Structures are given as structure tokens and as C-alpha cells.
Structure 1
């Protein structure tokens, strides 16, 4: 017997291929010991439940870290400095897409930024202490400490003055109409110095250096912000320039008040900032 005579199962070119049994998918042909053709069906190996659970948790963790790093992050309001719009313990979401690349915060944006140094008391800088909360904070599911939320009043090149005869801040010569979101808290103007709620002492700042912003809380008389960091005439240890926040410290822009649910709203830039002219060259 030649090698060509030994039980070959190949199909010649002029033979018709066999069809599968009714209702069965066609698979690879094999020959059983009795010469009967059978179809071998491929089976996909399924992971045990505990392995699938670990895999899904791992994927969810990676997605959470990616989302926090590049897109959205949760924070809470730690003080009364942004009243009346944002109050103590409100939960907010910030988005980071607007500041990708060379884009920088704009006038009127409400931003979250890292403490430039000495703006927050140690308690507010510590962050969560519970181990579970620490892990959740790492992946963006729980607010972290050491951050502030304020409104951008001026950007690089701007000059800000306080105030006109109606108590309004002036940016590049344009008064800001801020009645819709500012709480004066007993102050006579929208830009009180920390010890001058009567607003008798006028002040100005700028031009703001490149790569920096000037920020203020909406609750103007109860906010540790850029106006509080400005050097006053009787101070001897104040460092000029500490009132400006480096843009590199900005984490993102507030775009939604998430909780409590009955106060849910989207946050947008006030129209008054659209009238501010570019700084003079």
C-alpha cells in the first residue's frame, strides 16, 4: 500500500463538501475509531466568577483614574466664601478639557486650584483621613484636601481697580456688573480689603504677570482670596506677587453643582465679563 492509499480524509477538488447535520454548525472534521465523521465544536473557556469580578474591578479602577486625570473630578465646597451660589458642603464637578494644551482660565470662570502656599489652614489642607476615603480620593470619587474654589477676576495683563462710585470692580477700565452672583456681606463695595469693609481705601493691582490669574470669592467680605493677599500700606512682611495664582495650579473649571439634588444646576460664565476689553499693550 502506498502512502496515498492510507485512509486519507481529504476532499478532492471535484467532490462536493459535506453539509453539517441539521441545526448544527459546521466545525472541524475528525474521524472516530469506527470511521464515523464527527464535528468538533470549539468551546470558549469562561473565567470563574471571582476572576471576572477582579477583572471588572480593575477595569473600573483604571477608567476612574483616567477620567479623574484628564476629564472630570469631584470636589466639595469647604467654606462660605462662594456664597450665595455655592454653599458649605455643596458637591461640585470640575471639567479639565477646557484647559487642555495652551488654553488658560478666562475671566469669570469658577476654578478649583491647589493651594499656592499659606492660603488654607492646616486642617483644610490635610484632606481625608479615613483609609477608604483616601483611596476614593485617589481615583476621583471623593474630594481631596488642599484645594480652593474661587472666581477668576483678572488674567495675564489685566489691571483691576476697586472701586467706582457704585462699588463695582473695574477690569481694564470696564466696571463689572456682579449683582447676580456677588454677596457683599455688609461691605460697601464688591472688592473690600480684609480690614476695610467700608471700602474707603481704594486699591488697584496689575498688570497681572504672565501665567497667573487674580481670583476672588463671591462672598467678598468672607473670602481668603487674592484681595486678602495684597500688600497693605502698613504691612512689613508681605511679599508682593503672592496675590496671583499660577495657572499651573489650576485643576479645572466648575461646570455643575451636583448635590444637593434640589439645587442642581450647570455653571456658566457671567455675561458681564464679555464686555471687558483686552489689556492695553
Structure 2
């Protein structure tokens, strides 16, 4: 055995130690990237908030992570803030094609599918629910139970238009928290009654990831619907 091969790692000098340190950093970063990719691809996905229809819960330019295991292993509930594909063409057509970076991130699953449009709203009615506006004191009524909604944008009413709907099986009734600025289910009754297909739901908004000053969870406010009787089909 040569003297060189018999050297211990501790005696190989600063160059070896530097290389070993760099190698360990590269391995750690690679593992972190793989874990991030797996989490974002199979559990969470990033979305961008372009409008004020969900203020104050979500602000313009917020970035959120949505739990894409909902619906699925975890079911939807009234009050959940959901991301859904614009399968019913509520939004005007896209004017710009996605750039190369967006297309690449979409392909690997970090961003939503490039070229598709998405909306973010709060579930007010689940299948079988009857939702109407409004009670004598101006509140929404779900299954004959009036609800108090603390998430509504300050100064807004629960709805400036009257309606009464019963949600069909496989659908949901959604509304924005900024009721005066949200073209939600109320404004699209000419298309499938204003109801959104549960199959169009991409996930449940779970956290605000950016800007850093707004880090936090997206509250479903389950207490609002705690006394609403279940009429699901």
C-alpha cells in the first residue's frame, strides 16, 4: 500500500476538506429540491391572486399554496376557499401566451397548467344545500339557518341581489369575500345555474406564502356553518 493511499481523510489537507464540504452542501440542496418538487407536485401547488374578489382574506398579488389532495382523501366543506378551473368560461379569454419559464414550471407540476385559467372563491353551498339571500336582518340563509360571515369585506352586504338556489349533486355554490367586487355564482346563473363542478376544483387554499408580511393560513371559518343542518345528497 502506498503512502498516499494510506492517508486518512483528516490528513489530506484543506482542499479535500473543502471538496467534502461542497459535496455535502450539493447533496443537501438536491434533497431539498426533490422534496420541494414532490410536495408541490403531489400535495400542494402555488397560485397567484390577480384580483380583489377575495379581499380581505386574500389580497391582490398574494401567492397561495393550495392543498391539491382536496377533493380526494380530504373532502370539501362549507367555508373552504377553493381554487377551481374556469371550465364554464366565467373569465374573458387569455390575451397572452405563457412564457417558457411558466410552461416549464407547469410541466413539472410546480405551477398550474399553462394556458388554463383559475378562480378562487369560498364555498357557501354544498350538494343538497339551499342558499338564499337574504333573511330579514340581511344575512345569507343556508338550509333555513341564517349565518354571520366575519370574512366579508368591510362595508359590503352579504349580497346586493336576491336569490334562492338548491345545489345539485356534484356541484358547489361559491361566492367571493369581497361581495361587491366578485363575479361569482350569483352572476353566472345563465351557465349551469351558477354552480361549479366539484370535478373542476383543483384544491383548497391552505396558506399565504407571499408576501412575507402576509404569511399565514387561509381560514375556512367553520364556525360560521357549525349550526347549519346537513342536507348533502
User: Structure 1: which 4+ aligned runs deviate by more than 6 Å?
Assistant: none
SS in 2 for 1:104: coil
Work out whether 1:139 is the aligned partner of 2:91. Answer: no
SS in 2 for 1:209: coil
**Any conservation in 2 of the 1:214–1:226 contact (CA below 8 Å)?**
yes
Change (3 A) 1:142 1:279: closer
> 2-side partners of 1:259 and 1:63: how far apart?
16
SS in 2 for 1:268: coil
> 2-side partners of 1:166 and 1:242: how far apart?
26
Name the residue aligned to 1:190.
158
Name the residue aligned to 2:220.
269
1:184 CA drift (Å): 6.0
Count the aligned residue pairs. 205
**Any conservation in 2 of the 1:90–1:260 contact (CA below 8 Å)?**
yes
Q: Deviations over 1:127-168 (max 9, x none)?
A: x62211221233344455401000000000000010112221
- Greater helix fraction, Structure 1 or Structure 2: 2
> 2-side partners of 1:67 and 1:91: how far apart?
16
Name the residue aligned to 1:212.
171
Q: Deviations over 1:180-212 (max 9, x none)?
A: 210265x5x30223xxxxxxxx32011x11111
| 1:169-184 equivalence runs, <5 A | 169-178=140-149, 180-183=150-153
Name the residue aligned to 1:223.
182
> 2-side partners of 1:168 and 1:184: how far apart?
15
Name the residue aligned to 1:106.
77
Q: Deviations over 1:74-118 (max 9, x none)?
A: 0010111001111111000011234224x5321000000001222
**Any conservation in 2 of the 1:256–1:265 contact (CA below 8 Å)?**
yes
**Correspondent of 1:260 among 206, 211, 219:** 211
> 2-side partners of 1:122 and 1:280: how far apart?
34
Q: Deviations over 1:5-53 (max 9, x none)?
A: xxxxxxxxxxxxxxxxxxx8xxxxxxxxxxxxxxxxxxxxxxxxxxxx9
1:280 CA drift (Å): 8.2
Name the residue aligned to 2:69.
97
Structure 2 runs not aligned, ≥5 long: 1-5, 7-25
**Correspondent of 1:148 among 109, 115, 119:** 119
Give the RMSD, CA atoms, in angstroms: 2.8
Greater RCO between the two (CA within 8 Å, min separation 6)?
2
Change (3 A) 1:216 1:225: same
Change (3 A) 1:141 1:243: same
Work out whether 1:121 is the aligned partner of 2:95. Answer: no
> 1-side partners of 2:232 and 2:108: how far apart?
43
**Correspondent of 2:99 among 111, 130, 137:** 130
Work out whether 1:81 is the aligned partner of 2:53. Answer: yes
> 1-side partners of 2:143 and 2:46: how far apart?
34
Name the residue aligned to 2:11.
none
**Any conservation in 2 of the 1:61–1:139 contact (CA below 8 Å)?**
no
SS in 1 for 2:83: strand
Structure (1 or 2) with the larger CA radius of gyration: 1
